[in-house]
Structure 1
């Protein structure tokens, strides 16, 4: 009897073990992830993959691999700097000499001075050992040398497709610093303002001319130019569609302005941006007897734009937003 009981117990144990083996599965390895950093499909039984720790960006000057959430960041582009400031991202070094007033906090000694916009201090930058360098047009020629010191990303805006380029740069910065939702929220505000101004411009039938005043001379900027967003983004009709597209604009005379007779005249004062105390401002230069004959003067539509945003920075969440807001406010 004892022998029969023992045999039954042994059979029962085997049955329990067999049942357990039949229902178990193979556990996923703890280090598994998809090649592009995306989480596996739901229901696969595996845990979500970790976010990629390195991003690759193709830009105007090449291709740059950037680690997520870099700690030591140096910034030459003021648009990128005002974006990081808006997002609450700390930086290590900036080009302090030409900082616009709205970014004056970065003159503090807690931030490393990394040279000027045109002449980076390579020795200082090397000593910092940055994780990321952000540059734009004024540092294009320095890109090969800077790239030897740290991952260097070009974030200058392409004026021929301003909004697309601007949004791409902002989204990239959002990705790098895990600030995607904050960037999207700011872009949504800017896009709404653009939409409102375009609707107003379309129904107004008014045109405009954008000029830069510089040491007694003036130059004009049309579609596709450095300040062409007034036309290209906001949809305000240019008084002349054939202006030369160049960094410094097309040199013009005040007779040209009188002849074109714009409904609106948008003015950027370079002297105010570079801080030359000898400058008296653009208004006495611009509002002369010839310009006073234009519709822009007669209707109070000469709009003086803040050169700190338009000339020194631009391309950032703060600066681009302010540029669009100022143009929107001026276009009554």
Structure 2
């Protein structure tokens, strides 16, 4: 497991409705018409208008020097074959081997952290574009003073926004076809799993941090379990805006009688000390739930869910974890 500096967050098809002209939503609008074979290269758009989490901004097309302040965004860009990432803002956390390749670049500039950006170093790079998201959303105003900046944070209406923000990436970096290909592959899996969750029982999403246990429901950070995949919720009344969930007891978990538990081990995801989630939940109260008794407790890929779930590679893993709850 590699330990590097980056900003942790805080994861057939999206049925392609028509031809290429319909693939791009209103989130991305070319400033000039796209060139045809008969048009000179000079008529190709040099900027696109991007509507994102923090507003609407003009972004350069095919930027050559890019600063990224979010691990999930970096993973997606790498997945899409985008080059030109010059540096990242960071925070030390362990990165599992399957995601570490995206960070294997000795030329990445050291740019400080999201909490203490090295503005001098960022300016020295003269970036054409800065990408923020998640925790780095807070520095969007500062980054915008340096270079064109887009905020690719994804939160409510998760699955639609997930697709929209990746199409934003496609427009900016000229990889629209690759984006549609990957979204189609992902949506095939999403639709397959979603078709099998009806009648699969009530799900409860738990996160452990040391000895503390919190829960999430529909509309929350991990609400896609219900909102996108269609699992019935063991509790419809959990706080939707709580970043780290609602604190709950083992008695609560027993009372909810979940048929399936999805468990995120936050300490593992961020490289902190603390008891493993499997040990915390191994008690006589949780053992009385249908989920425990029927072997439907899914200890998910905590890095994918807690750190990088808004990236393409990590959300493929999320789908796999959610499917495991059906077995």
Q: TM-score range by the shorter chain?
A: 0.7 to 0.9
CA distance in 1: counterparts of 2:31 and 2:137, whole angstroms: 33
CA distance in 2: counterparts of 1:139 and 1:263, whole angstroms: 36
1:230 aligns with 2:203: no
Q: Please state how far the C-alpha of 1:190 moved relative to its aligned partner.
A: 1.1
What residue in structure 2 maps to residue 307 of structure 1?
A: 302
Q: Which structure is higher in helix share?
A: 1
**What secondary structure is seen at the aligned counterpart in 2 of 1:70?**
coil
Which of 152, 171, 188 is the aligned partner of 1:175? 171
Which has the higher relative contact order, 1 or 2, with Cα contacts under 8 A spaced 6 or more apart?
2
1:323 aligns with 2:318: yes
Structure with max Cα Rg: 1
CA distance in 1: counterparts of 2:228 and 2:180, whole angstroms: 18
* Structure 2 length-normalised TM: 0.84
Structure 1 residues 224 and 35 mapped into 2: Cα distance closer, same or farther (>3 Å)? closer
Deviations 1:94-116 (A, max 9, x none): 23423632443426432112222
Deviations 1:121-164 (A, max 9, x none): 22221111111111112022211111111111110112x21111
User: What does residue range 200-279 of structure 1 map to in structure 2 within 5 Å?
Assistant: 200-202=196-198, 204-245=199-240, 246-276=242-272, 278-279=273-274
Q: Please state how far the C-alpha of 1:331 moved relative to its aligned partner.
A: 2.4
Structure 1 residues 36 and 128 mapped into 2: Cα distance closer, same or farther (>3 Å)? closer
User: What does residue range 106-125 of structure 1 map to in structure 2 within 5 Å?
Assistant: 106=103, 108-125=105-122
Structure 1 residues 35 and 289 mapped into 2: Cα distance closer, same or farther (>3 Å)? closer
Structure 1 residues 35 and 303 mapped into 2: Cα distance closer, same or farther (>3 Å)? closer
Runs of at least 5 residues in structure 2 that lack an aligned partner in the other structure: 1-29
1:69 aligns with 2:69: no
CA distance in 1: counterparts of 2:188 and 2:268, whole angstroms: 30
What residue in structure 1 maps to residue 287 of structure 2?
A: 292
Q: Which structure is higher in strand share?
A: 2
Structure 1 residues 37 and 82 mapped into 2: Cα distance closer, same or farther (>3 Å)? same
What residue in structure 1 maps to residue 134 of structure 2?
A: 137
Structure 1 residues 117 and 99 mapped into 2: Cα distance closer, same or farther (>3 Å)? farther
Deviations 1:270-298 (A, max 9, x none): 0101112x334111101211100110010
Q: Which moved more, 1:316-325 or 1:149-158?
A: 316-325
Q: Please state how far the C-alpha of 1:194 moved relative to its aligned partner.
A: 1.2
What residue in structure 2 maps to residue 187 of structure 1?
A: 183
Across the aligned residues of Structure 1 and Structure 2, the Cα RMSD in angstroms comes to: 2.0
**What secondary structure is seen at the aligned counterpart in 1 of 2:197?**
helix
Query: Is the 1:135–1:154 contact (alpha carbons within 8 Å) kept by the matching residues of 2?
Result: yes
Q: Please state how far the C-alpha of 1:48 moved relative to its aligned partner.
A: 7.0
* Structure 1 length-normalised TM: 0.83
Structure 1 residues 131 and 103 mapped into 2: Cα distance closer, same or farther (>3 Å)? farther
Runs of at least 5 residues in structure 1 that lack an aligned partner in the other structure: 1-33
Query: Is the 1:273–1:308 contact (alpha carbons within 8 Å) kept by the matching residues of 2?
Result: yes
Deviations 1:206-250 (A, max 9, x none): 110001101210110101111111111101111011111121211
